[in-house]
Structure 1
Amino acid sequence: MSDFDVVIIGAGLSGIGAAWRLQKQRPGDTYAILEARDAIGGTWDLFRYPGVRSDSDMFTLSYPFRPWREPESMASGDKIRRYIQDTADEAGITRHIRFGTRVVSADWSSAEARWTLRAENGEVCTARFLYACAGYYSYTEGYQPDFPGLDEFRGKLVHPQFWPADLDHTGRRVVVIGSGATAVTLVPAMAAEAEHVTMLQRSPTYIAPLPSRDVIADLARRVLPPNAANRVARAKNILLSQLFYQLARKRPKQVRRFLQGTADRFLKNPGYVEEHFKPRYEPWDQRLCVIPDGDLFHSIASGRASVVTDRVDAFVPEGIRLESGRVLEADIVVSATGLSLLPVGGIRISLDGTPIEIGQQATYRGLMLSGVPNLAYCIGYVNASWTLRADLSHRYVLKLLDHLERNGLAVATPTQPSSAGRPLLDLSAGYVQRALDAFPRQGDRDPWLVRQNYLRDVVSTPRADVTRDMTFARRTAPVPDTEVVR
């Protein structure tokens, strides 16, 4: 059995970033990355549907320590996967990854001040600190509604999370159910070869077209060294995205008019925009969908794609019957109906053999759990690039580890706040609402609040007091007789 100073769960964008920071700041620490899949990349290795890409700009989604060099601001999934892989290879991180190691349980021993991790493949290891960088959704299942009549459908039903490598949609009639980020990516990508693609939505979503190339970044690259140019583009995009989010929350009517006016300029059909691109909720009550260069709107305007706003009544042999009675004929139906959320990678957590219900804990600084020692988890922002918050979390965890070492301590445990009732993820989207009870809750004061404000966090998080609402302890028993991996 191997023993490590730190075990990181997940070799995706967050896990590789955490390992890079750990190696840089604490080079003497031993660590391993336990990855359930057989490849680096996480989300960007899992999703292989047509057109898969980032919906955040790459100058903020990329690591601050390894600037984005490609020309696109919104990049394909394949390029993002290679970027993560290259980062791991160049930093010597890849050799620390144990692939095919899906962690199923983690039990904390108070006497030994160690986590014991057990994997599905039988592997067991221990660690003094556990950092879960596995995101917050299930890799093994997506959300799939129980549509009536599926057995009668003569075509093929696929879910974007499990895209068949041999699926050929050339010349086929395709219906994409959904209107979120996945759907608005799939529709224009499939429309290029399909006979026709219909996006079937229950209700409209706010959609914002952005250039696939960043003009300011291109200009900065011509006149500045690469690292400086990347910092300019990164700072500009952070500032603009945060300002737009704050404007949307404070002046929703104006932002609503702006987004609908933009759709109308592309489609030149006010009635179509009114029916299919006028959501019932306010901007940023759900995550805003971004389309590069307005590709979805261009597909609709060309006639290769269309939008239908209605509800599924049942599948029929030739396609989908809607509640209105209309039948959408389809050879392929893509169920882009959302994700199944899963906290802390779905790992069963226990303290001295007693199971912990994550949904009953409070979130400490959005990265630890009340009453749970030496465990952190990584989640991103809902209104900005995932990496922005992830990197702040990495830096905070390392600051905490430094504090433990300097003071001869072994254990750090967040103490329970007086109240914790707000949900961790403040979005009205269905996939979030379905999983609220599984996730920790927010409190009513710092450090138990999770603010969706990078500009504030980037100032406050590095200066945060790691001792606030935290109890510390020294190890009460010797380290178990395990193999220390160097």
Structure 2
Amino acid sequence: MSEHFDVIIVGAGLSGIGAAHHLTTRCPGKTFAILEGREAIGGTWDLFRYPGIRSDSDMYTLGYSFKPWKERKAIADGPSILAYIRETAEELALESKIRFGCRVKRATWSSERAAWTVEVERGPSKEIVRFTCNFLLMCSGYYDYEKGHAPEFAGIERFKGRVVHPQFWTEDVEYRGKRVVVIGSGATAVTLVPELAKEAAHVVMLQRSPTYVVSLPSQDAIARWLQQRVPTHVAYEVTRWKNVLLGMFFYQLARRRPASVKKQIVDLVRKKLGPDYDVDKHFTPRYNPWDQRLCVVPDGDLFKAVKAGRASVVTDHIETFTEKGIRLASGQELEADLVVMATGLRLLFLGGVEVVVDGRRVEPSKLLSYKGVMFSDVPNLACAFGYTNASWTLKADLVSEYVCRLLNHMDAIGARRCTPRRKDSDVEDLPLLDFSSGYVQRSVHAFPRQGSKKPWKVNQNYLLDIAALRFGEVDDGTMEFAGTNPAGAEVSARAGAIP
């Protein structure tokens, strides 16, 4: 016998716990469960344990819309974020609704039953367990929890020291007093380097090419001022919108005047490191701002470590590992006791879950994203997928709100199925993510596509998504509704909607 729920949420991380709140408050009559592959709440923030783990977005936008962030730091550390997520779950009394150790492997849809059968491997024995639901909400993130991206470097087997990937950092990784090389230049690398440099003999950030690095205050002065003068929820809402609008302004400015913004960013780095530092080589990317995600360093901690001589940046290509470290294309050899492969993540659509609709296996790359929430010809399934140019939770919150609107609309018209249908032949297929980052380019071919016009176009814009998801028509002519009303008569919100 399988347990049945109106809604199953996959993932008990930041998005999944947020989705549970929205279902509880907006669809109080719906039953739901959360399936979590790990044994704890927190998702990313429970998985990553490397030194200095923190957000690269401010917590006034990475935090939930419904729960003010009250800590002093706006750029928060991982343990604080994890505590925030767990506190939210505790306030919602979610313990009885979460099924831990349930790794979802397959989801099979039956139009006849208007239900999903969700197959999971449970516990260390990988016992097969099945759940059924009417609607499936995927909050499993977008990268592979089992594997990080690790390039195959020549001679790595000869290295006598230790090699570790940040995704799998354990407490026994020793770096105090050691010579450390961190390979990478993204968010993980710029987080690790200043933290390791506090106790390591020396830390080198080894990069093939530079990334834009921006220093922001770890505390938001305006938020602290407001918190002392107005109610907490008012201060939070004002700060949230202030940061949303500033972020959108900066993004639009970077896209419209890339040369000017590039100069400003690089000049700020030069001011931090001094006129004698080779900023052109180590901190001036070849691409324009926001062609890739910017890296944020709180209070300029990376620059402080470099300026103090505790850390250094080397821009070069790896020729081979040696017994003592890494030899570069320039001939320079970096001696190391520990090498940290901050070389990126592996993206994974829906956490690698196999999706089958009416006996036919769904090929993700053949799908078209609908409003950045659902997918063409896949009924009753939504996915929380955040922004590339802003905080993840901004979009995840809107996705959950929209799903609740959708469920309530289906109840109102007696529909059991909702399916986005591609009817406009003029819609051009485009990549889902327009980002030049390596981790995107390595995997985007295996993800759904987006369309050239709405509702198939993915908005990387919070205001446009508010209009579409919070206030837009649910029955928009593209979404087809079908099912059986309480009186037993077959209904459809659109002619020809029933397959």
Q: TM-score, normalised by structure 2?
A: 0.94
The residue number in structure 1 matching 2:439 is 431
- More displaced 10-residue stretch of structure 1: 262-271 or 115-124: 262-271
Unmatched 5+ stretches in structure 1: 480-486
The residue number in structure 1 matching 2:103 is 102
User: Paired residues, what number?
Assistant: 479
Question: Contact 2:108/2:117 (CA < 8 Å) preserved in 1?
Answer: yes
CA distance in 2: counterparts of 1:327 and 1:344, whole angstroms: 41
CA distance in 2: counterparts of 1:377 and 1:2, whole angstroms: 22
**2:171 corresponds to which letter in structure 1?**
A
1:261 aligns with 2:267: yes
CA distance in 1: counterparts of 2:439 and 2:282, whole angstroms: 21
The residue number in structure 2 matching 1:240 is 246
CA-CA distance at 1:459 after TM superposition: 3.1
Which string of whole-angstrom CA distances, capped at 9 and with x for unpartnered residues, describes residues 277-334 of structure 1?
0100000000000000000000000000000000111111000111111111000000
User: Counterpart of 1:445 in 2: which secondary structure?
Assistant: coil
Question: Contact 1:143/1:338 (CA < 8 Å) preserved in 2?
Answer: yes
User: Counterpart of 1:442 in 2: which secondary structure?
Assistant: strand
Question: Contact 2:10/2:34 (CA < 8 Å) preserved in 1?
Answer: yes
CA distance in 1: counterparts of 2:27 and 2:269, whole angstroms: 50
The residue number in structure 1 matching 2:459 is 451
User: Counterpart of 1:118 in 2: which secondary structure?
Assistant: strand
Q: TM-score, normalised by structure 1?
A: 0.97
CA distance in 2: counterparts of 1:271 and 1:20, whole angstroms: 49
CA distance in 1: counterparts of 2:188 and 2:311, whole angstroms: 15
Aligned-residue sequence identity (percent) comes to 53
CA-CA distance at 1:271 after TM superposition: 4.7
Runs of 4+ in 1 over 6 A off after TM superposition: none
CA-CA distance at 1:352 after TM superposition: 1.7
User: Counterpart of 2:278 in 1: which secondary structure?
Assistant: helix
**1:90 corresponds to which letter in structure 2?**
E
CA distance in 2: counterparts of 1:368 and 1:213, whole angstroms: 36
**2:66 corresponds to which letter in structure 1?**
F
The residue number in structure 1 matching 2:189 is 183
Of 166, 173, 176, which aligns to 1:160?
166
The residue number in structure 2 matching 1:327 is 333
Higher RCO structure (Cα 8 Å, ≥6 apart): 1
The residue number in structure 1 matching 2:56 is 55
Question: Contact 1:242/1:455 (CA < 8 Å) preserved in 2?
Answer: no
Question: Contact 1:113/1:475 (CA < 8 Å) preserved in 2?
Answer: no
CA distance in 2: counterparts of 1:251 and 1:304, whole angstroms: 35
Question: Contact 2:371/2:468 (CA < 8 Å) preserved in 1?
Answer: no
1:383 aligns with 2:389: yes
1:171 aligns with 2:169: no
CA distance in 2: counterparts of 1:442 and 1:133, whole angstroms: 19
**1:103 corresponds to which letter in structure 2?**
V
Unmatched 5+ stretches in structure 2: 123-127, 489-499
User: Counterpart of 1:306 in 2: which secondary structure?
Assistant: strand
**1:88 corresponds to which letter in structure 2?**
A
Question: Contact 1:422/1:443 (CA < 8 Å) preserved in 2?
Answer: yes
The residue number in structure 2 matching 1:15 is 16
1:44 aligns with 2:45: yes
CA distance in 2: counterparts of 1:194 and 1:84, whole angstroms: 32
User: Counterpart of 2:254 in 1: which secondary structure?
Assistant: helix
The residue number in structure 2 matching 1:484 is none
Question: Contact 1:203/1:310 (CA < 8 Å) preserved in 2?
Answer: yes
User: Counterpart of 1:168 in 2: which secondary structure?
Assistant: coil
CA-CA distance at 1:460 after TM superposition: 3.4
Question: Contact 1:179/1:200 (CA < 8 Å) preserved in 2?
Answer: yes
CA-CA distance at 1:453 after TM superposition: 1.0
User: Counterpart of 1:73 in 2: which secondary structure?
Assistant: coil
User: Counterpart of 1:229 in 2: which secondary structure?
Assistant: helix
**1:411 corresponds to which letter in structure 2?**
R
CA distance in 1: counterparts of 2:320 and 2:173, whole angstroms: 24
The residue number in structure 2 matching 1:316 is 322
Which string of whole-angstrom CA distances, capped at 9 and with x for unpartnered residues, describes residues 190-213 of structure 1?
000000000000000001000001
1:470 aligns with 2:470: no
- More displaced 10-residue stretch of structure 1: 352-361 or 194-203: 352-361
User: Counterpart of 2:395 in 1: which secondary structure?
Assistant: helix
CA-CA distance at 1:442 after TM superposition: 0.7
User: Counterpart of 1:402 in 2: which secondary structure?
Assistant: helix
CA distance in 1: counterparts of 2:276 and 2:394, whole angstroms: 37
Which string of whole-angstrom CA distances, capped at 9 and with x for unpartnered residues, describes residues 166-225 of structure 1?
112000000000000000000000000000000000000001000001000010011111
Question: Contact 1:411/1:475 (CA < 8 Å) preserved in 2?
Answer: no
CA-CA distance at 1:272 after TM superposition: 1.3
